Structure 1
Amino acid sequence: MRVVVVTGGSDGIGAEIARRLAARDGAAGGRNLALVLGARDREKLEQVAGQCAALGAQALAVPTDVADPDQCRRLIDMAEQRFGRIDVLVNNAGRSAHALFEEVPDLGWYEELMRINLWGSVWCTQAALPHLKAARGRIVAVSSLAGLIGVPGRTAYSASKFAMTGFFEALRAELKGAGVSVTIAYPGVVDTRIRYRGFNALGQEMGSSGLREEGAMTVQECARLIVDGMEARRREVVMTAKGKLGRLLKLLAPGLVEKMALAALKDEVKPL
């Protein structure tokens, strides 16, 4: 049996990754997969666990706030105690944010965002690492294109995702000899509600998105690309042609990349 832990598993990309894995297992005859899902919303988490169980996988819902290191360790401990092993850790939990730096009166929520987006992944990975090494398993880190290219209006979010990228790139090299793969995924704009629930300049929930969302990738396609990359033990999954181009142009024409990043913002949230 393969045991997969997914943080942020109650909604959006994390929930769809779980359902996709369960569906693949079901198509292969089922009962060979155990999913351990962590997120804050117990009700939604149990709904997703039920959907995965209906597809043939075993599923355990563990309410978890990844901003709390004790809860991160508890998530991993419960996975190991219930199923005896961990083969895959998908670090997907995260929160968005959109604010011009000069308009932020209190940087406290910058620290909170870093605890969620970076430290939650670090704490879960540290707890799971002995089990992953024993299984020669896989780590997935769901970063963002904002973790490759700084996006105006997203200083806090970009900082947290750049930090996440740096941590997992270094960890990949450290684990090469242990047979543990590290796949970093870089979604662009995906059709989820994450930006609506992100922090605004005052550290409150935004309630809207500051990005142009025309042509956003479906959550199903995003999850498919992540799962395919995980299964193939790919180093990176950069999901859009614009993202791949932007990464190249960042080296060759950085000013043009800044213009592209500004063009992705709605007019009402652009800096003057």
Structure 2
Amino acid sequence: MIAKHKVIIITGSSDGIGAEMARQLARTYGAKLALVLAARNEDALKKVAAECKTFGAAALVVKTDVGMEANCRQLIEAAVEQFGSIDVLINNAGKSAQALLEEVDNLGWYQELMRINFWGSVWCTHAALPYLKKSRGKIVAISSLAGLIGVPGRTAYSASKFAMGGFFESLRSEVRDAGVSVTLAYPGVVATQIRYHGYNAAGGAAGKSGLKEDDAMSVEECAALIIKGFERGDRDVVMTFKGKLGRWMKLMLPGLVEKMAMAALKKEVRPH
């Protein structure tokens, strides 16, 4: 066990938003930071850890499949064994999916997506909660605008992210008196490969994005907004004007919001 650091666990930190958050946090806190980096790709995690160490941060790599409860609990145990405490848990690991329900023959991958996106966050949070209460720490859940507004062609993904929202909004009330904050982040379209690696209707790799990505937010900007949000203790981080507008319009003009959501899809993946 090393001397006291600010200990931050980031799931899904081998690439994309998770890896960029790790790098930005390492640049900011340097030797005062201990990162616990978790994902399935151990080699990629080691590369991110090496980058973070150049800024003086400590970094522990834990190969983790958040779709398996035992892996989630082992991750938390490894973090505490190495660093003695947990200050921030960032539930970032997730998988995308794009398919019209009528095109799906086997719903097995819907269940798998829920295990990764929803249950992975629940299992990690449940295991980490006693330590977060001791440190009066922070919980961060990376949802999606698809977790605020149902998106056609993304029924499975939206369902998993809506479930996250309900869980963490409820948990926020439960842990408030213990001094633990909960921040939900809702990125829109971000310039990562998540949609290309997500499920297609047959349960295989999509290989392409079903969304228009002309105005995709950079990974760097997205990571910075999430970090700024949870460090301030924000309840929610909705990152774009369209996202903020859509959230309120959904209450007053739901039909218009549905049309806007449909317009975000590429023509080839829209219902016929």
TM-score, structure 1 as length reference: 0.98
Partner of 1:147: 147
Partner of 1:124: 124
Partner of 2:115: 115
Q: 1:20 aligns with which of 16, 20, 24?
A: 24
- In 2, Cα distance between equivalents of 1:145 and 1:95: 14
What secondary structure is seen at the aligned counterpart in 2 of 1:50? helix
Counting only pairs closer than 5 Å after superposition, residues 1-272 of structure 1 correspond to structure 2 as 1-26=5-30, 31-272=31-272
1:55 to partner: Cα distance: 1.2
Question: Deviation string for 1:116-159 (max 9, x for gaps)?
Answer: 00000000000000000000000000000000000000000000
Q: Which runs of 5+ in 1 are unaligned?
A: none
Question: Deviation string for 1:186-242 (max 9, x for gaps)?
Answer: 000000000000000000000000000001000000000000001001000000100
When the two chains are superposed, the root-mean-square deviation of aligned CA atoms in Å is: 0.4
What secondary structure is seen at the aligned counterpart in 2 of 1:196? helix
- In 2, Cα distance between equivalents of 1:159 and 1:270: 18
- In 1, Cα distance between equivalents of 2:165 and 2:271: 26
- In 2, Cα distance between equivalents of 1:186 and 1:10: 20
Percentage of pairs with the same residue = 66
What secondary structure is seen at the aligned counterpart in 2 of 1:38? strand
- In 2, Cα distance between equivalents of 1:137 and 1:96: 28
Tell me how many residue pairs correspond in the alignment: 268
Q: Which runs of 5+ in 2 are unaligned?
A: none
What secondary structure is seen at the aligned counterpart in 1 of 2:110? helix
- In 1, Cα distance between equivalents of 2:41 and 2:69: 17
- In 1, Cα distance between equivalents of 2:258 and 2:75: 39
TM-score, structure 2 as length reference: 0.98
1:56 to partner: Cα distance: 1.2
- In 1, Cα distance between equivalents of 2:164 and 2:107: 19
